[in-house]
Amino acid sequence: MRKFRREAAPEFLAGRWEAWGREWEERQRKGGSFHWHQVDGEMVNQRLLPGLRAQTQDHCSFCDAFPVSPPSDPTIEHFRPKSRFPREAYHWPNLYFCCRFCQQQKRERYEEDALRPDADDYEFERYFRCDFTTGMILVNERASPEDQRQARATIDLYGLNRDHPAWRKQQRYLRDRARDRPLDDFAYRDFVDG
Domain ranges of the chain: 11-180
**Over the chain, what is the mean pLDDT?**
87
Q: What is the pLDDT of residue 106?
A: 93
Q: What is the pLDDT of residue 194?
A: 45
Q: What is the pLDDT of residue 166?
A: 57
As a whole number of angstroms, the distance between CA 59 and CA 65 comes to 5
85 Cβ neighbours under 8 A, 6+ residues apart: 78, 94, 110
Q: What are phi and psi of 75, to 5 degrees?
A: -135, 170
Find the range with the poorest average confidence among 38-42, 71-75, 108-112: 71-75
3-state secondary structure of 192: helix
Report the share of the chain in percent with pLDDT over 70: 82
CA 145, distance to chain mean position in Å, is 23
Q: What is the pLDDT of residue 47?
A: 95
pTM: 0.84
Q: How far apart are the first and last CA of the chain?
A: 19
Does the pLDDT at position 171 exceed 80?
no
Strand partners, 97: 76
145 Cβ neighbours under 8 A, 6+ residues apart: none
Q: What is the pLDDT of residue 92?
A: 97
As a whole number of angstroms, the distance between CA 180 and CA 173 comes to 11
Please say whether the beta carbons of 13 and 82 come within 8 A.
no
Strand partners, 42: 39
172 Cβ neighbours under 8 A, 6+ residues apart: none
Within 10 angstroms of residue 175's Cβ, the number of other Cβ atoms is 9
As a whole number of angstroms, the distance between CA 76 and CA 140 comes to 28
Q: What is the pLDDT of residue 52?
A: 96
DSSP string, 11-52: HHHHTTHHHHHHHHHHHHHTT------EETTEEHHHHHHHHH
